[in-house]
Amino acid sequence: QVQLVESGGGLVQPGGSLRLSCAASGSIASIYGMGWYRQAPGKQRESVATIASGGSTKYADSVQGRFTISRDNAKNTVSLQMNSLKPEDTAAYYCYADISSLRSRRRDYWGQGTQVTVSS
């Protein structure tokens, strides 16, 4: 069984920073792409940032220059450093990982979500 567990959400004032972390555990054979999505109330889930196993990254235009995604392949973790946060960044943030496990075929796994609220 593979699990993704997120941490680091919370309430922050506009202009502030937060760091989200996500750890994958279980019977993992290989982890390919990892990343973060978010979903605000009444809106569709959108990709925020992704990182390939080799380290190449992609960002949504709305977070480019403010957010930084990173991963630690030895620890099976992915992190999202969020700076200069804006009220429109308020959403539930979900990590995902493209994983092949010892017991199942390669597929996407998702975390349970962590709430980020940017408000004064």
pLDDT of residue 11: 98
- What letter represents residue 98's amino acid? D
For residue 35, what are the contacts with CB-CB under 8 A and spacing of at least 6? 47, 48, 49, 50, 51, 69, 78, 95, 96, 97
Of the pLDDT bands very low, low, confident and very high (cuts 50, 70, 90), residue 104 is confident
pLDDT of residue 103: 87
Give the pLDDT confidence of 81-98 residue by residue, as tens digits. Answer: 999 999 999 999 999 999
- Percent of the chain scored above 90 by pLDDT? 96
Mean pLDDT, range 33-37, rounded to an integer: 98
Give the pLDDT confidence of 57-80 residue by residue, as tens digits. Answer: 999 999 999 999 999 999 999 999
